[in-house]
Chain A
């Protein structure tokens, strides 16, 4: 176990390489290669997400933009599944696609006189928008890719943990299972729930978010019906 405690002292770069060693160790007897399927799924979901995102940007009709947003959010859910965040993928589908997007679509329907109203931006606006986007996006892309290309070992397949768990969990002690960490996490949802009610974890933000949701519920209801209640008292309740 000493080697894992040493991990906290060495640099980030070495730690990522150490993770690679750690990850490949449990599956030494089996093939860690799971075929081309993860890459195919990544290209599928990533392409859907990025393409739908840009279709939101260039759509002239707001309803088409909403449909593009639907595909972008659903593709994000697939990417979360590839990253072994099953719970977050489900929450993304339920809250974002099922809740926030429906809210936005209702907003579109309530605020447009005709669903076919379109707005084509002027050529100068398009040029300026593209310049700003490239000014922000290109440096971020360059920095992220150049930095994490070096320290992220490409050998970690996105589907590794399932095989790693199956290979190690019956025999290994709880100690090394904790050391394997999320790579060998058996019940991520359990630890997620524990982290949310752990005072040393996320208990305070969890409670604050519940207060925030209450405030938002009251505030949104007040904002949305305030004017109508004033004009016709008693009829809006």
Chain B
């Protein structure tokens, strides 16, 4: 019994679908942020899987996929920090975290 590239891709697509479903179903802004994190994780799983099963050709580094994943993780952490700061401001303004209440910018 061996594990192929396809197995990991299937898990990745399932994570992507879970993320999209989360974003579509949640009205809590932090819930939507969780969906974004799930989608980012699906992307990084793809990167790592392709890096693992890539041909050992001369062009390109051996760990390009893993380096990309490092940057994705760092940027996801930065995104979560900024998003939560914005959500705290939003909560202070509207006394609610429901994204349906965010109508201030509506012209």
Contacts and interface: CB of A to CB of B under 8 A. Distances in A.
A221 B49 CA distance: 36
Contact of B31 (A8, A62, A125): A62
Given A15-B57, A76-B45, A156-B4, A213 B88 contact: no
B58 to A, nearest CB: 6
Interface of A: 4-5, 7-8, 12, 15-16, 18-19, 22, 36, 38-39, 42, 46, 49-50, 53-54, 56-58, 62, 65-66, 69, 72-73, 76, 79-80, 82-85, 87-88, 91-92, 95-96, 99-100, 103-104, 106-108, 110-112, 119, 121, 125-126, 128-130, 132-134, 136-137, 140-141, 144-145, 148-149, 152-158, 179-183, 185, 188, 191-192, 195-196, 201-202, 205, 209, 212-213, 216-217, 219-221, 223-224, 226-228
Contact of A8 (B33, B59, B92): B59
Contact of B88 (A42, A50, A96, A110): A110
Interface in B57-75: 57-59, 61-64, 66-67, 69-71, 73-75
Contacts of B44: 76, 88
Interface in B65-107: 66-67, 69-71, 73-78, 80-82, 84-89, 91-92, 97-98
28 contacts: A15-B57, A18-B55, A56-B22, A57-B19, A57-B35, A58-B25, A62-B28, A66-B34, A69-B37, A85-B69, A95-B74, A103-B80, A104-B37, A111-B97, A121-B25, A130-B21, A133-B21, A137-B14, A137-B17, A148-B6, A153-B4, A157-B3, A191-B62, A205-B71, A209-B71, A213-B74, A221-B85, A227-B89
